[in-house]
């Protein structure tokens, strides 16, 4: 019994002892403390939520970085809340252990420990912070995701070398859409990232919509300025300038579409004392010139050469695919050739073909590419062309866009003569109809220049030629195919042997079948909306008489270079709207009298028609609206129609070749009010052009003549008659092997009004003399030449003296181009003349 009693009293004694030693107060207040803890935990959670809200605003909107002490407090608070929540979860068990009215516990040690933990939690820090974040440290360069470049090493080195020059502050990178300009700029950024330097590198992408504001926001973020959306452009610019003027920065500005006002954006203009730089990319060459006029510091990114192009294509299509069959690799080479080195095309088409494992699939794809129908390949119509089209969409207006699309009528890689292209635009009425022909031509050259600036056209091998990149041409045809207003049917340069078929001829507005091997056109085409028809460079033998019957709107017809076509169908008379007719090149032997029905004809080209022996009388004069008549190299004696030309009161451009005439009287042309350009070519027997007193009696003789060319007239002795053109600007003499003087003083002496006249060539701007081997005198006296800008002399070894003195070409920046050996032998009137013109010389490069 005693043992049993003592055992049962032990817990009670122990608990009483606990109370006696002061531990009972914790146990007695257990329930109250639990309620207090729950309230404190709730308050702590609210404090954490408020603090996190302040942190998010600072980080997301103000681009700041949270303080380390805030991060530490939030971490500790998270742990504290988790521990407290755990204690609260366990609290029912401890409450059940209470006895004797809550004064004692059946598990005193755990209860006391638990109560002390509660008391400690209630005394934790309160998280009171005046600041929660600060500006983060700014890295000099931020790494950007980028793909490796292929074939751009030379361009990269060129840019990097420019960057090293202290005097170079702004560098432009331009090129075709999809050529890799952004990838290139990324590589420059990576170069900065991987090397030690003292530049603060800023990447910004311009935008068509509010470019300055978008770039300002990107710069501000990069240099640690607070994002304040309510500030004006000018206020943001002040903030940016205050920071950047104290830094050595490199601004990498991607994809600008027009002149970007750095000053308005707040960017200090480089180069400055600390050597800051701006490197930008654009699709437009003119933007480069506006941003930085020194073209040495504007670098064009070219398309890839064949080897590098195939390497990039193989990377995207996969070497495994190329090895699936021996034919595939060969076909892949053909596909790469059609991409013409454009990385975007190589990448897009390479990806599209990655899953194609059979030769037949590849044969189809290469044929599609040859036919300029790449849009049927997966991804091309949706991915590649829209990216390229943006350059087209950014052209100034529909006139520019229509002129651009017109260029796609020519075959791939075709070198397009600029003047001939412009003449077609005029015939199609794409240019200003109310302007005179000279102004329309100038407008055409302006548009060509703008298309070159936009990298939608390229300069050809010769200065008077342009060409269209294959992929850009394909894109143009795709745009025309998608258009509601433009319906093109283009099968040029695709080796057709027969007249093609089409489902809806009535919708076609422009058609090109040029550069094929079609022999006969024997099926009538009902094309009520057709305005341009290119049929040049074929093997036509027969064009049926009724072929042109249903083309009432046709304005431009090109039948040039058809060597086997000897006569035109009489049905050509049905082309009542025709304004432009090109029959140049051998073949045609006679013109039908029915052509008199072409009352609206403004342009007629008969150049190179050496077999043309019959032109009906009064045919030429019946074209009363004719503005351009080209008969250089025409087999029909031009002297026979010379008198008819005086009835062509709108004639502006005239090129002629005279056969057996030893002497030529230009009376019929002297009074033409609009004659601007006149060329004499290959008049092999012509010895002189007569000057008669009655030519100059009227003040208007050759009054509009601006451009004169005389070429291949091997017996001609002088071109004194050109002095009767008072507004002559260009005089070109080419290959006249017997010509000894340009102006004969003797012939001028025969006309009293011109004797001693110092106003000769008063408007002349350019003089070209090429391979005039016996030429010894331009004029025996010095002339003022108040407008002279350029003299080109080559292959004129006998010409020792120029008609210049120290007063010639005053105020003009005259350039004299010639061979260095010839220049050393030039005899000057006096030392002051030599001193005046020595800086004008520019040696010709052989």
Transcribe 91-123 into DSSP letters. HHHHHHTEETTTTEESSHHHHHHHHHHHHHHHT
Q: Whole-angstrom Cα distance, residue 160 to residue 191?
A: 10
pLDDT at 751: 63
Distance CA 263, CA 277 (A): 14
**Cα torsion at 560, 563, 569, 575 (round to 10°)?**
0
The interaxial angle of helices 108-122 and 30-56, nearest 10 deg, is: 40
| Structure tokens belonging to residue 709 | 């060319």
Which of 809, 798, 804, 762 shows the shortest CA–CA distance to 779?
804
Q: What are phi and psi of 564, to 5 degrees?
A: -95, 0
Find out whether 601 and 572 touch, Cβ atoms under 8 Å.
no
Detail the DSSP E strand segments found in 401-454: 416-417
The tokens describing 256, both together, are 């600008």
In angstroms, the Cα distances linking 99 to 10, 24, 27, 347, 788 are 15, 11, 10, 82, 120
Strand partners, 475: none
pLDDT per position as a tens digit, 214-252: 999 999 988 888 665 678 999 999 999 999 988 889 999
Four-residue CA torsion sign, 608, 611, 616, 617: positive
Burial of 53 (0-12, 13-18, 19+ CB in 10 A): exposed
Query: Whole-angstrom Cα distance, residue 343 to residue 305?
Result: 11
The rounded distance, in Å, linking the Cα atoms of 380 and 353 is 11
Instruction: Say what the pLDDT of residue 102 is.
Output: 47
- pLDDT, one tens digit per residue, over 19-47 is 434 444 555 566 676 777 778 778 888 88
The pLDDT of residue 811: 84
Q: Mean pLDDT, the chain, as a whole number?
A: 86
pLDDT for the residue 409: 97
Token readout for 333 is 């080479």
The list of the chain residues with pLDDT below 50 reads 1-24, 100-103, 699
pLDDT at 10: 40
pLDDT at site 13: 32
> What phi-psi label fits residue 100: left (phi over 0), alpha (psi between -120 and 50 degrees) or beta?
left
**DSSP states of 184-219:** HHHHHHHHHHHS--S-EEEEEE--SSSHHHHHHHHH
Q: Mind giving me the DSSP string for 654-689?
A: EEE--SS-SEEE-HHHHT-TT--EEEEE--TT--EE
Is residue 271 reached through a cis peptide bond, with omega within 30 degrees of 0 on the bond before it? Answer: yes
Scored b (16 or more CB within 10 A) or e, 755-768 reads: eeeeebbbebbbbb
pLDDT value of residue 12: 33
| Strand stretches in 226-276, DSSP E | 249-256
Confidence at residue 499, expressed as pLDDT on a 0 to 100 scale: 94
pLDDT at 110 (0 to 100):
59
Distance of CA 798 to the CA centre of its chain: 46
Please tell me the number of Cα atoms within 13 Å of 584 on its side-chain side. 16
250: CB partners within 8 A, 6+ apart? 163, 192, 199, 200, 201, 202, 276, 277, 278, 279
* Residue 52 to residues 43, 45, 66, 68, 127, Cα–Cα distance (Å): 14, 11, 10, 14, 11
> What pLDDT, on a 0 to 100 scale, did the predictor assign at position 1?
37
């Amino acid at each position: 019994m005693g043992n049993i009693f003592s055992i049962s009293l032990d817990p009670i004694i122990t608990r009483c002892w606990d109370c006696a030693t002061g531990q009972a107060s914790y146990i007695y207040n257990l329930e109250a403390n639990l309620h207090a803890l729950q309230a404190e935990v709730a308050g702590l959670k609210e404090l954490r939520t408020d603090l996190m809200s302040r942190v998010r605003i600072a980080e997301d909107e103000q681009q700041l970085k949270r303080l380390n002490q805030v991060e530490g407090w939030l971490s500790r608070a998270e742990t504290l809340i988790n521990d407290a929540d755990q204690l609260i979860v366990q609290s029912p068990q401890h409450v059940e252990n209470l006895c004797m009215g809550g004064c004692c516990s059946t598990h005193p040690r755990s209860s006391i420990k638990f109560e002390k933990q509660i008391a400690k939690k209630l005394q934790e820090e309160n998280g009171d912070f005046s600041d929660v974040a600060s500006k983060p440290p700014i890295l000099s360069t931020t790494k950007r995701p980028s793909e490796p470049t292929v074939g751009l090493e030379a361009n990269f080195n060129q840019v990097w070398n420019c960057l090293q020059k202290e005097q170079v502050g702004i560098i432009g990178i331009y090129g075709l859409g999809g050529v890799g300009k952004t990838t290139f700029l990324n590589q420059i950024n990576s170069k900065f990232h991987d090397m030690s330097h003292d530049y603060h590198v800023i990447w910004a992408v311009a935008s068509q919509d509010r470019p300055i504001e978008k770039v300002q926001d990107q710069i501000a973020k990069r240099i640690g300025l607070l994002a304040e959306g309510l500030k004006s452009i000018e206020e943001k610019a002040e903030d940016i300038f205050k920071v950047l003027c104290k830094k050595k920065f490199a601004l990498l500005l991607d994809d600008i579409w027009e002149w970007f006002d750095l000053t308005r954006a707040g960017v200090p203009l480089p180069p400055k004392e600390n050597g800051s730089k701006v490197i930008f990319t654009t699709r437009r060459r003119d933007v480069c010139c506006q941003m930085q006029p020194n073209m040495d510091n504007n670098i064009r990114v070219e398309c890839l050469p064949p080897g590098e192009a195939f390497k990039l294509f193989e990377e995207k299509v996969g070497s495994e695919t190329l090895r699936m069959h021996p034919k595939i690799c060969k076909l892949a080479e053909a596909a790469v050739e059609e991409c013409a080195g454009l990385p975007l095309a190589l990448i897009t088409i390479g990806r599209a073909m990655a899953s194609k494992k059979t030769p037949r699939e590849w044969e189809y794809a290469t044929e599609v590419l040859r036919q300029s129908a790449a849009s049927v390949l997966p991804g091309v119509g949706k991915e590649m062309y829209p990216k390229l089209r943006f350059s087209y969409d950014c052209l100034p207006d529909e006139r520019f866009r229509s002129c651009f699309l017109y260029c796609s009528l020519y075959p791939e890689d075709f070198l397009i003569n600029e003047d001939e292209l412009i003449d077609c635009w005029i015939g199609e009425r794409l240019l200003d109809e109310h302007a005179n022909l000279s102004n329309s031509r100038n407008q055409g050259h302006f548009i060509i220049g703008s298309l070159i600036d936009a990298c939608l056209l390229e300069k050809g091998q010769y200065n008077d030629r342009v060409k269209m990149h294959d992929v850009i041409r394909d894109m143009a045809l795709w745009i025309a195919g998608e258009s509601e207003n433009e319906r093109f049917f283009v099968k040029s340069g695709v080796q057709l042997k027969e007249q093609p078929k089409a489902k809806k001829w009535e919708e076609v507005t422009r058609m090109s079948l040029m550069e094929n091997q079609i022999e006969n056109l024997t099926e009538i085409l009902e094309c009520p909306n057709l305005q341009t028809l290119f049929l040049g460079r074929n093997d036509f033998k027969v064009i049926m008489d009724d072929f042109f019957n249903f083309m009432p709107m046709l304005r431009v017809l090109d039948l040039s270079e058809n060597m086997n076509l000897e006569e035109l169908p009489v049905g050509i008379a049905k082309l009542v709207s025709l304004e432009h007719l090109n029959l140049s090149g051998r073949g045609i032997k006679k013109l039908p009298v029915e052509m008199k029905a072409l009352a609206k004809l403004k342009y007629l080209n008969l150049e190179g028609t050496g077999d043309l022996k019959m032109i009906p009388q009064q045919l030429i004069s019946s074209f009363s609206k004719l503005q351009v008549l080209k008969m250089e190299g025409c087999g029909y004696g031009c002297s026979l129609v010379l008198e008819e030309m005086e009835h062509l009161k709108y004639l502006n451009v005239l090129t002629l070749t005279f056969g057996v005439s030893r002497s030529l009287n230009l009376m019929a042309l002297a009074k033409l009010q609009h004659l601007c350009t006149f060329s004499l070519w290959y008049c092999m027997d012509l010895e002189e052009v007569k000057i008669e007193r009655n030519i100059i009696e009227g003040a208007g003789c050759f009054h509009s003549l601006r451009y004169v060319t005389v070429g291949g007239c091997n017996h001609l002795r002088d071109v004194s008659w050109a002095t009767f053109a008072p507004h002559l600007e260009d005089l070109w003499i080419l290959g006249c092997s017997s010509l000894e003087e340009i102006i004969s003083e003797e012939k001028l002496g025969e006309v009293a009004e011109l004797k001693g006249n110092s106003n000769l060539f008063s408007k002349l701007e350019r003089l070209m003399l090429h391979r005039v081997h016996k030429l010894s005198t331009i004029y025996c006296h010095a002339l003022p030449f108040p407008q002279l800008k350029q003299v080109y002399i080559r292959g004129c070894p006998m010409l020792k003296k120029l008609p210049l003195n120290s007063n010639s070409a005053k105020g003009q920046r005259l350039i004299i181009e010639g061979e260095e050996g010839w220049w050393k032998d030039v005899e000057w009137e006096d030392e002051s003349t030599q001193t005046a013109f020595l800086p004008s010389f520019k040696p010709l490069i052989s």
